[in-house]
């Protein structure tokens, strides 16, 4: 009997052991060209009821392994963005099983097979931003980044002050690939005018950023995303563009040309990417102004005409690498550099008609000026990203160094003539500027999804900036160059910003809410070494943000948002130097300039692709340009001051219309009202306000034989900004045509900007003793031709994009 029980126990133990035997199934996922597909989701389904048993992700090499499987019949479901979901035939598992290689079909191939042709519109409105799909636009071809921005709804390029405005507001932060560029003012417009549209994929217009973004930027953020290749193996894009400005009464040499190359190599755990560009640009600008002065019974009318031609060659390059240490951890390094050397020739003619006691007299000043301005920027970035799980819990870390140098050599020769045209005097000046800026920064961001509907984000950041501006002004006296003590100066500025933020988001069936708070502590010190004067500031600022989204139905939703922003003066605006422009005009910085703070409010409604929004912003201590005129000497000085209050009301309507499968229209209308007040500008109160309109329309036609045509137009009405008034309507009509060849890998594009030559600026400044009218014409009409070719596998996965730690401070370098 004892032996029988022992035998039964052994049989039961063996049976239990057999019942508990678990198996493993493994395999590999590739695309049509047998390239591994990384990070695809592989689901093991019970057959035939398709109940989910387990799910895993493929490795960087496309391999997967599912363990702990009981014997039975199963099938796999594999999915990833960009591919059609793949379901395998059912199979039987009795032991460990190695499946044959599984091939997936890309979406691009499916579209080709069913002959579906589509192209994203140039303007695409999303819930939190407006996206310009530059690489799909024909009228953007051969343009510069600055010219593309000028076509964007709600964007104005102020050619007078070299400011980029969004929704009639200045203080825009310009980012490139998620990091703020190192320049501002004239220098950022110079950089963007040397960047070809062939390098750009999309441009994002973010009017009310969340707490995660740096608080800088009253009007919001413009993020320019450069093209990235999406593939394993080696692939890239090469393009060439050329153009010619066609302007009356201008130099014939308005020729531009550029070559761009993007390369990407993705193999195993490594992704190495890079791009490079070289471009030659030429611009012409004519400014005509009149102003009046009155002093001790002497009334003068000054008429000035400036002809400025600049050209230069710019180089841009980026190289980086990402190392996928595991499915959860990625390390990256990136080196980004750009340089441009702009040469400017400037001729000005000033006529002075002076009247005293009824008698008038004429005199003239003729000035020849030239300058050379080599500018360079180098940024190095180290980045780490770790995903703790597949639910979105992640940690990122960035450390950056940026160096910026701007050297400028200027020469001025002025001849003074009497009414008969005979010389009475001559002055010769030269200025040398040497600006050096170094930025050190580090930041970390942590994302924690608490549940499927709740997410928390938080982060820390610290930045340290040192700027050294050395300005030497000399005058030729008696054949000897002598230092002009009153103008030469050495200015050193140091700044440390420490920031912390947190945000909480929650989703319900109808509502989505995101609450955020960012705190930034700023400690700065600006020292004029020459004058031995310092200005120190130490302050803490809070920046709350609120976003509420109400989903009324599948096609209807309303979004409410609020955010507080700051614009700190850029480093050159704080510089107390006096910059010479001509014998009767100087430019001067202000070390006592305060930051401006803005509260932004917005309500937007979306019905399918139609959107309507209402916005209001209230800015205190608005940073603006103010002109001071000495009537006795007739010298006018341009300085930066804080304007008491600026308010901006706006309404924006976007309506796309599809006339036919081959004809799509986009329409955007924006209405603004800007109001500006200050209790004391140059000794008296100032108040101004005006309503203005921005219109944009684009027609895209898809034609047989792989031809397409795009016609667009924009119009800005007269408006007010601070003390500056625009007095005319500005606008442009643009058109382009494209032909694709070689399975759409080769693109030929021809377009023309400002066909009717209507894009120029006229305005006036009228306040206190200032009465000035200005007409400014620039190279707005240009014919462009470009050719681009995509090579390699373009279907799989993109190189990683990232934000760097120097985002908020880089945009404040420059002049």
CATH number, domain at 64? Answer: 2.60.40.10
Residues 6+ away with beta carbon under 8 Å from 376 = 337, 338, 339, 404, 405, 406
DSSP state letter for 188 = H
With 50 as the cut, is the pLDDT of residue 18 above it? Answer: no
Dihedral through CA 682, CA 490, CA 805, CA 206, nearest 10?
30
**Do residues 485 and 596 both lie within one domain?**
yes
Q: CA 549, CA 90: separation in Å to the nearest integer?
A: 44
- Could you tell me if 171 and 253 lie in one domain? yes
pLDDT at 193: 59
Residue 332 three-state SS: strand
Question: Does the pLDDT of residue 770 top 90, yes or no?
Answer: yes
Is the domain of 41 the same as that of 163? no
Based on the domain organization, do 162 and 80 belong to the same domain? no
For residue 589, being part of any structural domain is answered with yes
Domain's final residue, options 82, 113, 144? 113
Residue 811 lies in a domain: no
pLDDT in tens, 511-521: 989 999 999 99
437 shares a domain with 582: yes
Confidence check: pLDDT of 428 > 90:
yes
Residue 138: count of CB within 10 angstroms of its CB: 25
Mean pLDDT comparison of 266-270, 298-302, 653-657, highest-scoring range: 298-302
Q: What is the pLDDT of residue 11?
A: 37
Per-residue pLDDT at 525: 94
Cα→Cα distances 701→143, 270, 687, 708, 711, Å: 20, 41, 47, 6, 9
Q: Of the ranges 174-188, 555-569, 628-642, 800-814, which one carries the lowest mean pLDDT score?
A: 800-814
DSSP string covering 598-646, please? EEEEEEEEEETTEEEEEEEEEEEEEEEEEEEEETTTTEEEEEEEEEEEE
**pLDDT tens for each residue of 179-192:** 655 455 555 665 56
Q: What angle do CA 663, 666, 670 make, to 5 degrees?
A: 165
Based on the fold, state whether residues 101 and 132 are members of the same structural domain. no
- The confidence score (pLDDT) of residue 807 equals 46
CATH number at residue 617: 2.40.170.20
Question: What mean pLDDT comes out for the span 682-687?
Answer: 92
pLDDT in tens, 541-551: 999 999 898 98
pTM higher than 0.85, yes or no?
no
Whether 19 has a pLDDT exceeding 70, the answer reads no
Is there a domain that residue 1 lies in? no
| Structural domain that includes position 89 | 23-113
Does residue 2 sit within a domain? no
Distant-in-sequence contacts of 420-426, Cβ < 8 A, 24+ apart: 421/364, 424/363
**What's the mean pLDDT in 284-294?**
94
Let me know if residue 15 belongs to a domain.
no
Residue at 781 is within a domain: yes
Which helix (H) or strand (E) element contains residue 457? strand 454-477
Compare 217 and 430 and report the one with higher pLDDT.
430
Average pLDDT over every residue of 247-261: 89
When comparing pLDDT for 650 and 213, which is higher? 650
Alpha-carbon dihedral angle through residues 30, 34, 35, 38, given to the nearest 10 degrees: 10
- Whether residue 200 is found in the same domain as residue 312: yes
- The domain tally of the chain equals 2
Same structural domain, 200 and 73: no
Q: Tell me, what's the pLDDT at 692? A: 96
- When pLDDT is averaged across residues 470-483 and rounded to a whole number, the result is 92
Residue 5 resides in a domain:
no
pLDDT in tens, 632-664: 999 999 999 999 999 999 999 989 898 998 998
Lowest mean pLDDT among 123-127, 513-517, 582-586: 123-127
Q: Which residue has the higher pLDDT, 220 or 313?
A: 313
- pLDDT higher at 45 or 177: 45
- Residue with the larger pLDDT of the pair 795 and 21: 21
For the chain, the average pLDDT equals: 84
**Single residue among 93, 113, 133 that ends a domain in this structure:** 113
Same domain for 384 and 479? yes
The answer to whether residue 35 is domain-embedded is yes
Quote the pLDDT of residue 440.
Answer: 94
Same structural domain for residues 234 and 343? yes
**333 has a pLDDT exceeding 90:** yes
Of 113, 132, 163, the one marking the end of a domain is 113
pLDDT of 384 reads 94
Residues constituting the chain? 815
Lowest mean pLDDT among 213-222, 298-307, 372-381, 731-740: 213-222
Residue range 694-752, pLDDT digits in tens: 998 989 898 999 899 999 999 999 999 999 999 999 999 999 998 989 887 898 989 99
Query: Range with the lowest mean pLDDT among 491-495, 543-547, 565-569?
Result: 565-569
| 430 lies in the same domain as 501 | yes
Same domain, 47 and 162: no
């Amino acid at each position: 009997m004892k032996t029988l029980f022992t035998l039964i126990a052994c049989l039961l133990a063996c049976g239990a052991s057999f019942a508990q035997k678990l198996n493993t199934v493994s395999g590999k996922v590739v695309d049509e060209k047998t390239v591994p597909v990384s990070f695809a989701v592989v689901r093991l389904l019970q057959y035939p009821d398709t109940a989910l048993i387990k799910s895993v992700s493929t490795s960087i090499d496309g391999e997967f392994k599912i363990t702990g499987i009981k014997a039975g019949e199963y099938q796999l479901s594999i999915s990833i963005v960009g591919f059609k979901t793949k379901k395998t035939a059912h199979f039987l598992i009795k032991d460990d099983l190695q499946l044959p290689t599984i091939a997936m079909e890309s979406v691009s191939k499916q579209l080709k097979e069913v002959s579906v042709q589509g192209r994203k519109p140039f303007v695409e409105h999303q819930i939190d931003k407006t996206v310009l799909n530059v690489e799909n636009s024909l009228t953007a071809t051969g343009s510069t980044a600055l010219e593309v921005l000028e076509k964007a709804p709600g964007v104005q390029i102020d050619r007078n002050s070299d400011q980029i405005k969004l929704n009639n507001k200045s203080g825009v932060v310009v980012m490139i690939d998620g990091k703020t560029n190192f320049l501002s003012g004239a220098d950022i417009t110079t950089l963007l005018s040397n960047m070809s549209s062939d390098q750009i994929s999309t441009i994002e217009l973010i009017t009310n950023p969340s707490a995660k973004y740096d608080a800088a930027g009253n009007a919001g953020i413009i993020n320019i995303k450069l093209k990235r290749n999406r593939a394993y193996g080696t692939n890239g894009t090469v393009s060439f563009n050329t153009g010619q400005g066609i302007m009356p009464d201008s130099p014939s040499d308005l020729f531009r040309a550029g070559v761009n190359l993007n390369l990407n190599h993705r193999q195993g755990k490594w992704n190495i990417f890079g791009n490079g560009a070289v471009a030659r640009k030429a611009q012409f600008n004519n400014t005509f102004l009149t102003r009046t002065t009155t002093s001790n019974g002497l009334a003068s009318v000054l008429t000035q005409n400036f002809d400025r031609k600049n050209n230069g060659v710019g180089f841009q390059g980026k190289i980086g690498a990402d190392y996928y240490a595991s499915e959860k951890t990625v390390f990256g390094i990136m080196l980004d550099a750009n340089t441009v050397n702009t040469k400017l020739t400037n001729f000005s003619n000033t006529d002075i008609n002076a009247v005293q006691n009824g008698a008038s007299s004429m005199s003239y000043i003729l000035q020849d000026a030239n300058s050379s301005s080599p500018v360079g920027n180098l940024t190095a970035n180290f980045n780490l990203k770790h995903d703790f799980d597949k639910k979105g819990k992640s940690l990122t870390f960035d450390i950056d160094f940026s160096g910026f140098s701007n050297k400028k050599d200027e020469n001025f020769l002025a001849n003074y003539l009497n009414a008969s045209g005979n010389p009475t005097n001559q002055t010769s000046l030269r200025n040398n500027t040497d600006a050096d800026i170094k930025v050190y920064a580090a930041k970390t961001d942590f994302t924690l999804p608490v549940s499927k509907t709740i997410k928390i984000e938080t982060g820390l950041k610290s930045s340290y900036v040192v700027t050294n501006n050395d300005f030497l002004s000399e005058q030729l006296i008696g054949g000897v160059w002598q230092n002009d003590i009153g103008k030469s100066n050495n200015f050193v500025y140091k700044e440390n910003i420490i920031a912390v933020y947190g945000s909480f988001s929650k989703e319900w069936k109808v509502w989505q809410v995101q609450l955020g708070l960012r705190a930034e502590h700023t400690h700065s010190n600006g020292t004029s070494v020459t004058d031995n004067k310092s200005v120190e500031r130490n302050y803490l600022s809070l920046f709350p943000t609120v976003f509420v989204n109400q989903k009324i139905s599948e096609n209807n939703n309303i979004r409410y948002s609020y955010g507080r922003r700051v614009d700190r003066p850029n480093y050159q605006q704080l510089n107390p130097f006096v910059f010479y422009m001509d014998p009767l005009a100087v430019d001067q910085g202000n070390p006592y300039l305060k930051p401006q703070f803005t509260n932004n409010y917005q309500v937007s409604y979306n019905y399918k692709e139609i959107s309507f929004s209402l916005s209001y912003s209230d800015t205190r201590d608005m940073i603006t340009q103010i002109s001071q005129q000495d009537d006795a000497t007739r010298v006018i000085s341009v300085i930066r001051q804080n304007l008491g209050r600026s308010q901006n009301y706006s309404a924006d309507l976007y309506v796309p219309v599809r006339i036919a499968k081959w004809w799509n229209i986009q329409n955007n209308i924006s209405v603004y009202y800007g109001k500006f007040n200050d209790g004391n500008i140059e000794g008296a109160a100032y108040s101004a306000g005006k309503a203005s309109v921005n219109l944009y329309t684009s027609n895209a036609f898809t034609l047989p034989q792989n031809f397409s045509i795009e016609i667009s137009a924009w119009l800005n009405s007269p408006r007010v900004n601070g003390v500056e008034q625009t007095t005319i309507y500005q606008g442009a009509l643009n058109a382009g045509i494209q032909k694709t060849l070689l399975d759409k890998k080769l693109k030929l594009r021809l377009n023309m900007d400002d066909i009717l030559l209507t894009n120029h600026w006229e305005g006036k400044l009228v306040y206190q003793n200032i009465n000035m009218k200005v007409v400014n014409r620039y190279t707005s009409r240009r014919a462009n031709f470009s050719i681009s070719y995509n090579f390699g596998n373009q279907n799989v996965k993109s190189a990683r994009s990232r934000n760097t730690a120097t985002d908020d401070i880089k945009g404040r370098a420059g002049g």
